[in-house]
Amino acid sequence: MEEEEDDYMSDSFINVQDIRPGLPMVRHVKEAIQKEEKQREANQKNRQKSLKEEERERRDTVLKSALGNENKGFALLQKMGYKSGQALGKSGGGIVEPIPLNIKTGRGGLGHEESQKRKAEERLENYRRKIHMKKQADEDAADQFRMRFKSKQEERKIEGDLRKSQRACQQLDTQKDIKVPKEIWYWTEPEQEEKDQEEEEKDEYKDSDLSVLEKLQILTAYLREEHLYCIWCGTAYEGKNLSSNCPGDSSADHD
């Protein structure tokens, strides 16, 4: 009985020794990795190549190898004096290397690539045309803006010259004891105490069909003839000094 207990204790000790952590686990992992690598190598060797791959490999092998005497065409060339590496032609001005092959791999029909290329060029041309049209439109818009801005500046300048002429006309007419202006718009619009009279003055002013520029031209001509005065010179001349000393009857003449 004691011997049986000793054997049991001995077997238990051996089993405990076998399942101790550390080395056995590392050994099992290494064995699994090596087995997986061997299986992968075997699969790689046994893997069958597709028909396209085999065809491509055969074609590349044939194209890379030079023609030999067994080729009838090459044999005929040699009989006519051709040597390997020599250019074609009687004078030797032809090609040396064979014309390269352009292998068609897609499923499109003949002319499909040219059609696609032409469509791509048309799209590119349309895009360039749109960009050019947009650029031209932006430039035209900028030019129109500058023209409008310049026109508004000129309008403001003409309106300012007209108001300046009206004040000068009113002052010079008053000095000559002229009580009523020749035209209602020759003078600056007077302040009215009564609203009805103010409305009448405004209506009378609006009834005129003359533009601001036309009014300015008429009023400056009146000032030059009646008072020998130029608003741009800011001077009332005497006698013929106006025509001899004043550059002209417009703002542009005084620039």
* 153-170 b/e (C-beta count within 10 Å ≥ 16 → b): eeeeebeebbebbbebbb
Contact 228, 242 (CB under 8 A): yes
Q: For residue 237, what pLDDT is reported?
A: 85
SS3 track for 36-91: HHHHHHHHHHHCCCCHHHHHHHHHHHHHHCCCCCCCHHHHHHHHCCCCCCCCCCCC
The Cα–Cα gap between 135 and 117 comes to 27
Q: For residue 129, what pLDDT is reported?
A: 93
For CA atoms 58, 59, 62, 65, the dihedral sign is negative
Q: What is the pLDDT along the chain (255 residues), one digit of tens a residue?
A: 444 444 444 444 444 444 455 556 667 778 888 888 888 877 766 666 677 777 878 888 877 777 777 888 888 878 887 777 788 777 777 887 777 777 766 677 777 778 888 999 999 999 999 999 999 988 888 888 888 888 888 888 888 899 999 999 999 888 988 888 888 888 987 654 444 455 555 555 454 578 888 888 898 889 888 888 998 888 888 776 777 788 888 888 887
Tell me the per-residue pLDDT of 8-17, one tens digit each, with 9 for 90 and over.
444 444 444 4
Alpha-carbon torsion, ordered 238, 239, 240, 245, to 10 deg: 0
Contact 198, 192 (CB under 8 A): yes
Distances (CA, A) of 159 to 1, 152, 184, 213: 135, 10, 16, 8
Q: For residue 203, what pLDDT is reported?
A: 52
Question: In this structure, are strands 235-236 and 229-230 parallel, antiparallel, or unpaired?
Answer: antiparallel
Q: For residue 87, what pLDDT is reported?
A: 81
